[in-house]
Amino acid sequence: MDAAATAGRLAAAGEGVEAQHRKLRIGTLLLIASDVVFVACLFFTYLYLRALNVEGRWLPAGVQPPSIASGLLLAGLLVASAASYRWADLGIRQGDQRRLQTGLGVALGLVVVELLYALWQLTHLGFGPGSGTFADSFIVLTGYHVVHLLLVILLGGMVLNRARHGRYGPGRAIGVELVGYVWYWVALMAVAMALLALV
């Protein structure tokens, strides 16, 4: 009875490590779910306008969509980055600090490359907002992707900095895990955007 009550007290007060982690996991996933709905609405916008504008109004003269390859490159960079992040996360769960920092560094570097490429692409499209509904939908999706990348860089920088200060270890790596959810979701969105180019 005493033991059960003590365990209960810890669980209720959110003091138990596992309870704390579960709380953080659920909260993070709920906030990501909210962002998923936001992104889904942007995709809905793209597809709705695509369906509405059958002929030249989707791609007016002079609007040349970026190649499918560039979308695949953006998706590929992020998937590789997410994989490296995952590798780092699994490493620190076994206490491998070196693997954590290496994996994080690679993941972060790939995101920075992605960001630079996305910004370069946005400024070298040959069209801007107001050049038809493809242009508008593409720019808002890519623009929001850039916002995501900035967020990921901020969070990734935080994790890397904390990792260098030795703040993570086996059973103390929940922060790495949580940022990972954001990372995977942003990578997933990049993949979905690459697929959108096929529509």
Partner 1 sequence: MASRWWSQSVLTGVPMGVVTALVAALLTRAIGGPSASDAAICIGFVGWAFGFLGGMGAFRYPRTLLLARPDPTAEEEHQLAVQGGGPWRYFRFTTDHKVVGIQYLVLGLVLFAVGGLAAMLIRLELLRPGAAAFPPATYNTIVGLHGIIMIAGTIIMITGPFGNFVVPIMIGARDMAFPRLNALSFWLLFTAVPVLLCAPFLGGFPTGWTSYAPLADQAPPGMDAFLVTILLFGGSVAVAGANIVTTAITMRAPGMTWTRLPIFVWGAAMTASTLGLMVFPAFMAAMVLLGLDRTLGTSFYVASGGGSAWLYDNLFWLMGHPEVYVIAIPAFAVIMELLPVFSRKPLFGYRTAVASTTAIVGLSVLVWAHHMFVTGWAPQLNGPFMLTTEMISIPTGVVFLVAVGTLWRGRIWLTVPMLFVLSFLWNFVIGGMTGLYLADVPTDYQLHGSLFVTAHFHYTLMGGALMGFFAAFYYWFPKMTGRMLNETLGRIHFWVTQVAFNVTFLAMFYVGLQGMPRRVADYSAQFAAGNFVASIGAFVLGAAMLVFAYNIVSSWLRGQRAPSNPWHAKTLEWQVPTPVPLENFEETPVITSWPYDYGAPEPTPEGAAERAPA
Binding site for partner 1 (CB under 8 A): 1-2, 4-5, 7-9, 11-14, 19, 22-23, 26-27, 30-31, 33-35, 37-38, 41-42, 44-45, 48-49, 52-53, 57-58, 129-130, 132-133, 135-137, 139-140, 154, 157-158, 161-162, 164-165, 167, 175
CB of 24 to partner 1, least distance (A): 8
Q: Which is nearer to partner 1, 13 or 68 (CB)?
A: 13
Per-residue three-class SS string for the chain: CHHHHHHHHHHHHCCCHHHHHHHHHHHHHHHHHHHHHHHHHHHHHHHHHHHHCCCCCCCCCCCCCCCHHHHHHHHHHHHHHHHHHHHHHHHHHCCCHHHHHHHHHHHHHHHHHHHHHHHHHHHCCCCCCCCCHHHHHHHHHHHHHHHHHHHHHHHHHHHHHHHHCCCCCCCCCHHHHHHHHHHHHHHHHHHHHHHHCCC
CB of 69 to partner 1, least distance (A): 26
CB of 18 to partner 1, least distance (A): 10
CB of 42 to partner 1, least distance (A): 6
Q: Which is nearer to partner 1, 79 or 172 (CB)?
A: 172
